Amino acid sequence: MVNIDVGDLAVAERFYCAALGLTAGRRFDGAVELLGLDAPLYLLAKAAGTPTAPSPAAARDYRRHWTPVHLDFVVEDLEAAVGRARGAGAALEKDIATHDWGRIALLADPFGNGFCLVEFSDRGYDAIAL
């Protein structure tokens, strides 16, 4: 399961459904389940400025931020997926880059959460496996 904190549940639902072709599943108090990936994705309404954890003290901030954990979404047609994501409100942060394993685009959602769209080559990560 994947959980993403968002400042506005309705905006986030529209974004992720339009950008990634997901559909809404169950609804909960302050959350919505999105379907269409290998794992369900839950959008959790968490107001900006609320605590992220008891310790260390940090407040949620929906400006663009970095985290060592991010999501990569595998797509069949990278240009089309980037266009769809940008049309839904994503910011393209780095143009499409080509590697031996495939191609990748770096983006951010409307809440500052970074994510990548990945289109694998025929061999994918096998092309670089040691």
The per-residue pLDDT for range 69-97, each reduced to its tens digit, is 889 999 999 999 999 999 999 999 999 99
Taking a C-beta distance cutoff of 8 angstroms, is the pair 1, 42 a contact?
yes
Note the residue count of the chain. 130
The per-residue pLDDT for range 13-65, each reduced to its tens digit, is 999 999 999 999 999 999 999 999 999 999 999 999 888 887 777 888 888 88
Q: Which of 97, 70, 75 is nearest to 85 (CA)?
A: 75
Annotated domain spans of the chain: 2-47+68-127
Tell me yes or no: is domain 2-47+68-127 CATH 3.10.180.10.
Answer: yes
Question: Mean pLDDT, to the nearest integer, of 115-120?
Answer: 97
Rounded to two decimals, the pTM is: 0.88
